[in-house]
Amino acid sequence: MKRYNTLLFGVLALFLMASCGSRQSGDSSASADSLASADVVEVTDLATLTEDLTLDDTDEDVQVFTMKIGNDPERSHLTVSFPFTKYEFINERERNLSQQFIDEFRAEVAQLSQESTATLDYNQHFEVKYRGDSFIVFLYTRSTSRGNNYDDSSYASIFDLEHRRVVSIADLFVDEDAFEGFASEMRAAASEAVRLRLMQSKDFGSEHERQTVWVEMQSGIEEGTLAVDANYDALFFDHEGNWYVTFDKYQIASGSMGTFTVPVPSWVVRRYVHPDILRRLGRSLEPDAPQEIADLEKPEEAARPLTDDDSSASRVALTFDDGPSVYTPRLLDILKQEGVKATFFVLGKSAAVQKQTMKRMVEEGHNIGNHSYDHKNFAKISVEEARRQIGRTDEIVGEVAGQRPSYFRFPYGAYTQDKLTLVNRPIMGWSVDPLDWKYKDADRVALEMSKAGPNAIVLAHDIHKTTIEAIPQVIRNLKAKGYRIVTLDELFAGRTLKNNQVYSSGK
Ligand code: NI
């Protein structure tokens, strides 16, 4: 796949230029966007993007690297997050897996160029399921959409920290027989999970119909649970010592029944999983206990900007979306140094990984907004899924930062009317968009952000190194113009905001 990249990129660039050209004029937001659309798919690969990035022992040990291609809901786009750690062997493998996903996206966009009406949405995010002295486990979900609805698939990465390598299925079992025995028990457990979901379904006219479907499903369950690596690519364990297998949509049941995460019975774990793994896991199962959070400094009263009392000064709010990421701690350092408060629209999934970063945001006086769980396009998902996206993020932020986010911002700013009422708090848009996901040039981003007028809400993304590099200039420019840089709380101070209403500036 890799050697075709240059060719694919060429085709993709042509496709994007062609699709911009055919876009109806009159959409003002699109015009600025179209100018340099070929930039959207710059051929930067992940290895280049991450080459000068390192974490040392004082850093939070698992952080999020997020990369995007495109940010327009009307066009094909991709968001990929993967873990960045202080272990280079982990970073390298996860980066390569993610690169494959990006290459698949590029190939599919190139194929689609014939029928340019279709838009692709590729999404990859991860959770940290286990972090101990011996192992670290990530569970990824990849979601792809070719129109409405997303298809999800999961896979797990298990790393052996002592031997510095990835743990394969072959490493998890003593021999092929043990894997066969395990798969056979999982077939029984998966079958029971499918049967229960079928029993609860209200889609059947009669019991006979239900029974017929159940009989027809047997071969699918059999095939989806055979002892082959691909069927168990989402086998993982968590901090409680529980093991699970996630079976993707269509793997063991019809697509409408969704995915199944089936617990592995503990006796099955004890009988079939390699004793060395269990011994080492047992020995290190205590780190269960949440990792010590480094002493956080108390918010500094003295750090308040001198201009603070000057309430007549024009105000501007800086907002940062799609984090926290591996670059966010650096941004927090800059803001602290400059005595500036901002607002962070975080993804629930990334917030759960970078807990220390989240705590810092609160401790240092920034606002936190909810930007969904994993950045799905709300125009494409169901009401139930939208509710789950908002609710899970509220829970995670509440848990790690001690407060429910007071604002919401839709990923890509995209929504349908039926999603508005779910938000249950003010919704934030923006009035200045520096297109920092496209122009990876700190000077240019700084120039665009500095164009903000009074009461502007400036959009930026704390997942791009170049954006972080732009911020000292932005702060300098805005202060020179006499602006006070404030949080959304301050921008709207003294006003009563309506729930479920979209605000794109403080006017
Ligand atoms: Ni976003």
Kindly state the percentage of the chain with pLDDT values over 90. Answer: 73
For residues 432-450, average pLDDT: 95
- Residue whose C-alpha is closest to residue 461's, from 311, 277, 323: 323
Q: Cα(322) to centroid of ligand 1, in Å?
A: 5
User: Which class for 472: exposed (0-12), middle (13-18), buried (19 or more C-beta within 10 A)?
Assistant: middle
Q: Cα(371) to centroid of ligand 1, in Å?
A: 7
Cα separation, 431 vs 455, in Å, equals: 9
Please, what is the Cα angle at 417 between 413 and 419, to 5 degrees?
70
For residues 158-172, average pLDDT: 96
Contacts of 497 (CB under 8 A, 6+ apart): 426, 503
Query: Quick one: tokens of 437?
Result: 């996901």
- Residue whose C-alpha is closest to residue 368's, from 339, 403, 413: 403
Cα separation, 112 vs 110, in Å, equals: 5
pLDDT band per the 50, 70, 90 thresholds, residue 475: very high
Cα separation, 335 vs 363, in Å, equals: 13
Q: Tell me the three state secondary structure of residue 456.
A: strand
Cα separation, 147 vs 121, in Å, equals: 8
In this prediction, residue 148 carries a pLDDT of 76
With beta carbons less than 8 A apart as the criterion, state whether 109 and 255 touch.
Answer: no
Active site (catalytic) residues: 321, 461
In this prediction, residue 43 carries a pLDDT of 55
Q: Tell me the three state secondary structure of residue 103.
A: helix
Cα separation, 73 vs 411, in Å, equals: 9
Checking if the pLDDT of 313 tops 90, the result is: no
Q: Cα(347) to centroid of ligand 1, in Å?
A: 8
For residues 36-48, average pLDDT: 60
Query: Quick one: tokens of 482?
Result: 């006499």
End-to-end CA distance of the chain: 50
Cα separation, 58 vs 337, in Å, equals: 19
DSSP 26: T
Q: Cα(411) to centroid of ligand 1, in Å?
A: 4
In this prediction, residue 58 carries a pLDDT of 86
Checking if the pLDDT of 18 tops 50, the result is: no
- Residue-wise pLDDT for 49-74, tens only, equals 998 898 988 899 999 999 999 888 88
Identify how many contiguous H helices and E strands the chain contains and give both numbers. Answer: 17, 17
Which residues sit opposite 399 in a β-bridge?
Answer: none
Q: Cα(320) to centroid of ligand 1, in Å?
A: 9
DSSP 168: P
Q: For residue 220, how many other CB atoms are within 10 A of its CB? A: 15
pTM above 0.75, yes or no: yes
For residues 123-141, average pLDDT: 96
With beta carbons less than 8 A apart as the criterion, state whether 84 and 91 touch.
Answer: yes
Q: Cα(277) to centroid of ligand 1, in Å?
A: 39
- Residue whose C-alpha is closest to residue 70's, from 107, 117, 123: 123
Mapped to the 3 state alphabet, what secondary structure does 305-332 carry?
A: CHHHHCCCCCEEEEEEEEECCCCHHHHH
- What is the four-CA torsion angle of 191, 197, 199, 200, rounded to 10 degrees? 170
Query: Quick one: tokens of 57?
Result: 């022992």
Q: Cα(497) to centroid of ligand 1, in Å?
A: 22
Cα-flanking dihedrals φ and ψ of residue 128, to 5°?
Answer: -90, 110
Cα separation, 480 vs 482, in Å, equals: 5
Q: Cα(20) to centroid of ligand 1, in Å?
A: 21
Checking if the pLDDT of 36 tops 60, the result is: no
Which residues sit opposite 316 in a β-bridge?
Answer: 485
User: Which class for 101: exposed (0-12), middle (13-18), buried (19 or more C-beta within 10 A)?
Assistant: middle
Q: Cα(282) to centroid of ligand 1, in Å?
A: 40
193, 230, 260 from 226: Cα distances, Å: 16, 9, 16
- Residue-wise pLDDT for 205-256, tens only, equals 899 999 999 999 999 999 999 999 999 999 999 999 999 999 999 999 988 8
Stated as kind and residue range, the H or E segment containing 64 is strand 62-69
Q: Cα(463) to centroid of ligand 1, in Å?
A: 10
Q: Cα(436) to centroid of ligand 1, in Å?
A: 12
For residues 446-473, average pLDDT: 96
Q: Cα(238) to centroid of ligand 1, in Å?
A: 29
Q: Tell me the three state secondary structure of residue 53.
A: coil
40, 245, 454 from 269: Cα distances, Å: 47, 12, 61
With beta carbons less than 8 A apart as the criterion, state whether 33 and 435 touch.
Answer: yes
Cα separation, 310 vs 307, in Å, equals: 5
Query: Quick one: tokens of 319?
Result: 């907002």
Please, what is the Cα angle at 182 between 177 and 184, to 5 degrees?
95
In this prediction, residue 311 carries a pLDDT of 54
Q: Cα(116) to centroid of ligand 1, in Å?
A: 24
DSSP 216: H
Q: Cα(321) to centroid of ligand 1, in Å?
A: 5
pLDDT band per the 50, 70, 90 thresholds, residue 204: confident
For residues 163-178, average pLDDT: 96
Cα-flanking dihedrals φ and ψ of residue 428, to 5°?
Answer: -110, 130
Cα separation, 389 vs 49, in Å, equals: 29
Cα separation, 387 vs 390, in Å, equals: 5
- Residue whose C-alpha is closest to residue 187's, from 246, 244, 252, 235: 252
Checking if the pLDDT of 308 tops 60, the result is: no
Checking if the pLDDT of 347 tops 80, the result is: yes
In this prediction, residue 371 carries a pLDDT of 98
Average pLDDT, the chain: 86
Query: Quick one: tokens of 202?
Result: 């209200």
Checking if the pLDDT of 27 tops 60, the result is: no
